[in-house]
């Protein structure tokens, strides 16, 4: 549960986002079984390492339908191994060149942003403990008494909700400046700073904007002059779209559907400091070397030794018994090794960078296919399993585990969630976590289609026997039960009213009920003929309004299904991800119309009870139907489609 960055977004609406879920969450892990090496010193022979990685790639690329990849390993200040696999252009069959072929590292870009921040801290232009509003020309709302600082941004504990809509663009004409992006997309603050790890692209973009403000240079130019050039990264840039001198070396990104590769366009990350980098594998090697050599690359220095070491030290953890965040790096213990890592995902490219400081070694991998996350997982897992083998541990649950068993059990949602927009339901569906406890007191955690077994070895501390460094900590924060992994993706226990099954019953059951009754009423209208006119007017109007409510609900859900079902064949996600379609605002107004209609239903129902119109059983039935309509409206309010 600590391998990769996150992989980038109720039955009535769950199938609306099914396609997102499948693409983001169901890529499998494949690697060739090999015998582990007996020592824990890492690779010592480049040729042996090449043979090992070749075996992994021979299985992983075709199995996951990924056209190409690059793998680079550095050790002791030098490139130890670098190789391209597959092709960067399916049609032209252009082989991947580790020196010149550009990949999109995605959120690995953040490490450059954090390095830039620490450069300015080092020079005294920034303070890690100052309210960031001091550095901004707009104001982050003071939702909580505690201000947000750069320490919070570096550790992803600023407390922002997550907003994915608008993060990517395919049309350069639709891209706004970094300044406009951070000013017009300020997310709601939903956690107190420093209390909950909640990974934030906006927080990283905000840090990049602070670099831009304080340095007086556009962020792209600052990084170019102060990081890329000193590191001789000639095949790397934050410029989007790519400059003409590099565009020809860019690997194409591909989806895979119906047995064919579907080429996508260049993905523009609007929040450029969070994921806008393009780089070759060997250029990323220079960046890894600089960090492993305490800020030095060849004769150039991008960080003072003390600053580099500070960047690699622990900045935040929910508890000393688990790993946490360094200054932008994920600091984790894996297979007995201290690691500094960061993953990165666009829709087409999936990447991972890991430093092993104790071995003076680093590894970087990037792929150019939508299922590349499985390839990345295969290589990183295989590399660690083989070169740093470890035996599973036989763990015994705590004697008083039953006292806390019920606290663990239940459904959870990720701290990296949306709270105030219609994306709330999407985040809930693709990031749900379920925890059960079996009869042997094993704690089974299911996330992303994968179940991992944990054992409580100390009160509130869970350990994965297969990987003892994989730990979870249960902690109560502001009255909520939270589970903290080794990364800034906290599990927050869901209250009963957030249960997806409940909302599924409300939406599906309500829709079916309204449609069935509407059809019965229409049939009854034709059967009874003139007798219908003798029915009390209050009940006739109630049926009219209830039918209208059902029709609007049907149109709303069906249209949402069509919009989210409009899948881009290259990216495997709905086209709405790149921008809302025409008329979407009209669609979002339908829940308000349903609210007005429900008021009319309530009004006519009250009249029918006052006047005692019709049979009591009919009025009771209509009262229950009104309660169903109110339940549907409550669900729409909860998921931010209403009010």
| Most distant CA pair in the chain, distance | 96
Distance CA 587, CA 446 (A): 35
Coil/strand/helix, residue 453: strand
- State the Cα angle at 40 between 306 and 297, rounded to 5°: 35
| Long-range CB contacts for residues 94-97, cutoff 8 Å, separation at least 24 | 95/68, 96/68, 96/69, 96/70, 96/251, 97/280
Question: What pLDDT shows up at residue 582?
Answer: 86
What is the arithmetic mean of pLDDT over 474-478? Answer: 92
Residue pLDDT, tens place only, 144-184 = 999 999 999 999 999 999 998 788 999 999 999 999 999 99
Q: Which of 165, 167, 147, 145 is nearest to 157 (CA)?
A: 147
Residue 307 lies in a domain: yes
Residue 263 lies in a domain: yes
Classify residue 180: in a domain, yes or no: yes
**Domain assignment of residue 528, given as a range:** 500-638
Within a domain: 412: no
Interatomic CA distance for residues 643 and 638, integer angstroms: 9
pLDDT tens track for 453-466: 999 999 999 999 99
At 21 the pLDDT is 33
The pLDDT value given to residue 12: 32
82 and 71 in contact (C-beta within 8 Å)? yes
Q: Which residues pair with 369 in a beta bridge?
A: 254
Distance, first Cα to last Cα, the chain: 36
What pLDDT is recorded for position 529?
55
Helix or strand holding residue 382 (H, E):
helix 372-387
Q: Identify whether residues 374 and 507 lie together within a single domain.
A: no
Is the confidence at residue 517, as pLDDT, over 90?
no
Query: What is the spatial distance between Cα 597 and Cα 391, in angstroms, rounded to a whole number?
Result: 64
Dist CA 305 CA 313 (whole Å): 12
Contact 170, 578 (CB under 8 A): yes
Chosen domain end from 363, 387, 411: 387
Distance CA 169, CA 48 (A): 42
Of 580, 44, 569, the closest CA to residue 258 belongs to 569
Asked if the structure places residue 452 within a domain, the reply is: no
Bond preceding residue 241 cis, omega within 30 of 0: yes
Exposure b/e, 58-69, CB count within 10 A at least 16 = b: ebbbebbbbbbb
Q: Is the pLDDT of residue 14 over 80?
A: no
- What span, in angstroms and rounded, lies between the C-alpha atoms of 90 and 256? 12
Shared domain for 382 and 508, answered yes or no, is no
* Structural domains of the chain, count: 2
In a domain, 417, yes or no: no
- Cβ atoms of 323 and 197 within 8 Å: the answer is no
Tokens found for residue 55: 């075996």
Q: Judge contact between 205 and 274, C-beta under 8 A.
A: yes
- Answer whether residue 552 is part of any domain: yes
Q: What is the pLDDT of residues 328-372, one digit of tens each?
A: 999 999 999 999 999 999 999 999 999 999 999 999 999 999 999
Q: Which of the listed residues 387, 404, 425 is the one where a domain comes to its end?
A: 387
Residue 516 lies in a domain: yes
**Which pLDDT does position 63 carry in this prediction?**
97
Q: Residue 586: how many CB atoms within 10 A of its CB?
A: 9
Phi-psi label, residue 237: left if phi above 0, alpha if psi -120 to 50, beta otherwise = beta
Question: What is the pLDDT at residue 6?
Answer: 39
Residue 60 sits in the same domain as residue 199: yes
Which of these three, 356, 387, 418, is where a domain ends? 387
What DSSP string runs through 489-523?
B-EEEPPGGG-HHHHHIIIIIHHHHHHHHHHHHHH
Taking the C-alpha atoms of residue 640 and residue 105, their distance in angstroms, rounded to an integer, is 33
% of the chain with per-residue pLDDT over 90: 75
Query: What CATH number should be reported for the domain holding residue 100?
Result: 3.40.710.10
Residues in the chain, overall count: 643
Look at residue 521 and tell me whether its pLDDT is greater than 50.
Answer: yes
């Amino acid at each position: 549960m600590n391998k990769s960055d996150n992989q980038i977004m109720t039955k009535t609406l769950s199938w609306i986002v099914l396609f997102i879920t499948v693409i983001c969450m169901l890529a499998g892990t494949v690697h060739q079984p090999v015998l582990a090496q007996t020592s824990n010193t890492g690779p010592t022979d480049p040729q042996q390492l090449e043979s090992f990685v070749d075996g992994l790639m021979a299985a992983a690329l075709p199995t996951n339908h990924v056209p190409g990849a690059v793998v680079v390993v550095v050790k002791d200040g030098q490139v130890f191994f670098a190789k391209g696999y597959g092709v960067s252009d399916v049609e032209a069959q252009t082989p991947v060149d580790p020196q010149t072929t550009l990949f999109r590292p995605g959120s690995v870009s953040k490490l450059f942003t954090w390095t830039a921040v620490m450069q300015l801290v080092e020079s005294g232009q920034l303070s890690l403990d100052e309210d960031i509003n001091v550095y901004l020309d707009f104001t982050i709302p003071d939702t909580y008494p505690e201000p947000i600082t750069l320490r919070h941004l570096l550790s992803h504990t600023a407390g922002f909700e997550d907003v994915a809509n608008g993060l990517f663009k395919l049309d350069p004409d639709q891209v706004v400046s970094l300044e406009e992006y951070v000013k017009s997309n300020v997310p709601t603050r939903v956690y107190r700073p420093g209390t909950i790890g909640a990974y934030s692209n906006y927080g990283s973009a905000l840090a990049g904007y602070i670099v831009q403000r304080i340095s007086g240079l556009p962020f792209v130019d600052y990084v170019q002059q102060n990081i890329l050039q000193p590191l001789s990264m000639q095949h790397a840039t934050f410029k989007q779209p790519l400059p003409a001198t590099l565009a020809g070396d860019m690997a194409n990104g591909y989806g895979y559907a119906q047995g064919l590769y579907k080429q996508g366009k260049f993905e523009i990350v609007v929040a450029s400091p969070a994921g806008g980098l393009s780089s070759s594998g060997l250029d990323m090697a220079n960046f890894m070397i600089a960090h492993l050599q305490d800020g030095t690359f060849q004769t150039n220095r991008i960080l003072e030794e003390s600053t580099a070491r500070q960047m690699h030290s622990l900045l935040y953890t929910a508890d000393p018994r688990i790993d946490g965040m360094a200054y932008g790096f994920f600091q984790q213990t894996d297979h007995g090794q201290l690691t500094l890592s960061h993953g990165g995902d666009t829709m087409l490219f999936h990447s991972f960078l890991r430093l092993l400081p104790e071995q003076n070694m680093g590894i970087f991998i990037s792929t150019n296919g939508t299922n590349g996350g499985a390839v990345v997982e295969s290589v990183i897992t295989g590399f660690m399993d083989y070169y740093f083998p470890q035996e599973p541990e036989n763990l015994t649950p705590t004697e008083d585990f039953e006292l806390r068993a019920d606290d663990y059990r239940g459904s959870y949602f990720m701290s990296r969630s949306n709270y105030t927009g219609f994306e709330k339901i999407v985040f809930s569906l693709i990031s749900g976590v379920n925890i059960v406890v079996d009869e042997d007191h094993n704690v089974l955690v299911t996330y992303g289609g994968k179940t991992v077994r944990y054992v409580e070895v100390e009160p509130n501390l869970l350990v994965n026997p297969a990987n003892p460094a994989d730990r979870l900590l249960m902690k109560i924060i502001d009255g909520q039960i939270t589970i903290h992994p080794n990364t800034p993706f906290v599990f927050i226990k869901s209250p009963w009213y957030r249960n997806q099954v409940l909302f599924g019953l409300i939406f599906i059951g309500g829709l079916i009920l309204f449609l069935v009754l509407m059809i019965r009423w229409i049939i009854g209208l034709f059967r009874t003929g003139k007798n219908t006119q003798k029915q009390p007017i209050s009940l006739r109007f109630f049926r009219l309004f209830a039918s209208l409510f059902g029709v609007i609900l049907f149109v709303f859900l069906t249209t949402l299904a069509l919009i989210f079902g409009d899948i881009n064949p290259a990216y495997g996600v709905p086209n709405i991800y790149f921008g809302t379609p025409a008329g979407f605002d009209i669609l979002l107004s339908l829940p308000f119309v349903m609210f007005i209609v429900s008021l009319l239903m309530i009004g006519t129902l009250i009249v029918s009870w006052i006047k005692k119109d019709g049979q009591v059983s009919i009025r009771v039935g209509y009262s229950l139907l009104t309660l169903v309509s109110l339940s549907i409206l409550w669900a729409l309010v909860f998921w931010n489609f209403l009010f």
